[in-house]
Amino acid sequence: MKGKISEVFDSVQGEGLYLGEKQLFVRFFGCNLWCRFCDTKQDAYIEYEPQELLEELKLYGNSHHSISFTGGEPLLQKNFLKEVLKLTRKDGYKHYLETNGTLVPELEDIIDYLDIIAMDLKLPSSTDMVCVWGMHRRFLKVASRKEIFLKTIICASTKESDLKEAIGIIKEINNSAVLILQPNSHERQNKALQEKLLQFKDLCRKERVTACIIEQMHKVIGVK
DSSP secondary structure code for residue 102 in this structure: -
For residues 177 and 211, what is the distance between their CA atoms, to the nearest angstrom?
A: 9
Residue 150 has pLDDT above 70, yes or no: yes
Hey, what domains does the chain have and what are their CATH numbers? 3-221 (3.20.20.70)
Residue 182's nearest CA partner among 216, 224, 133 is 216
Q: Show the DSSP H helices in the chain as ranges.
A: 50-58, 78-90, 104-110, 124-127, 133-143, 160-173, 191-206, 217-221
Q: Return the amino acid letter for 216.
A: Q
Q: Return the amino acid letter for 74.
A: P
Contact 66, 96 (CB under 8 A): yes
For residues 193 and 47, what is the distance between their CA atoms, to the nearest angstrom?
A: 40
For residues 81 and 109, what is the distance between their CA atoms, to the nearest angstrom?
A: 10
Q: What is the pLDDT of residue 224?
A: 67
Q: What is the pLDDT of residue 80?
A: 98
Q: Return the amino acid letter for 215.
A: E
Which CA distances in Å does 95 have to 81, 86, 107? Answer: 11, 11, 13
Q: Burial-class residue 95 by CB neighbours within 10 Å (0-12, 13-18, 19+).
A: buried
If you average pLDDT over residues 201-215, what whole number do you get?
A: 97
For residues 124 and 161, what is the distance between their CA atoms, to the nearest angstrom?
A: 10
Q: pLDDT for 23-52, tens place per residue? A: 999 999 998 888 877 777 778 999 999 999
Report residue 220 CA to chain centroid gap.
18
If you average pLDDT over residues 79-95, what whole number do you get?
A: 97
For residues 34 and 16, what is the distance between their CA atoms, to the nearest angstrom?
A: 21
pTM of the model: 0.95
SS3 state of residue 130:
coil
Q: pLDDT for 172-198, tens place per residue? A: 999 999 999 999 987 877 888 999 999
Q: What is the pLDDT of residue 159?
A: 96
